[in-house]
Amino acid sequence: MKQILPIFLIVLLFVAIVSCDQKRVFESYHELDKNGWNKDSVVVFNVELSDTMKNHNLYVNIRNKGTYPYSNIYLFLTIASPDGNQRTDTVEFTLADPSGRWKGSGIGGLHDNQILYKNGVYFPKKGEYKFEIKQGMRDNVLQGIRDIGIRIEKTY
């Protein structure tokens, strides 16, 4: 009996981890240049989407160092559909609260944020969608952002 309990707990933990992410359609990060994120640098994610029936939530994933000099970040996000239509948004995300404490999870000097960008997004066409992200801060080379990513998940 003592040997069965640890095996059961491991299996239960594995099932919990796998089932928690059944909503995910796509998730990827892009590691930025160690010297900083240049204002002209565009991060591109090409995503093949085939589900035209369900709505989706879109998240922006940001990993920042504790040395990031600001409490927020402005981004230019462009979504291009398979038929060539595109839409660009300027968005602001808050990375630290008013007291200066970093939001999100983190260990040491790295902080991980998954921030809802849009909910209930409908993708009407099957095919490849292009997601482009540029930093919109005043710095020509933005320091302290290590990775940028996106996550697309189904809504139920």
Residue numbers of the domain that contains 79: 25-154
74 located within any domain? yes
pLDDT given at position 156:
80
Residues 6+ apart with CB under 8 A from 85: none
User: Is 6 a member of any domain?
Assistant: no
Residues of the chain with pLDDT > 70: what percent?
87
Q: By percentage, how much of the chain surpasses pLDDT 90?
A: 79
The two structure tokens encoding residue 13: 């933990």
pLDDT over 60 at 1, yes or no: no
Per residue in 5-22, pLDDT (tens digit) is 555 555 544 544 555 678
- Total structural domains in the chain? 1
* Structure-token match 């594995």, residue found: 14
- For residue 67, give every residue at least 6 positions away whose Cβ sits within 8 Å of its Cβ, in sequence order, or none: 109, 143, 144
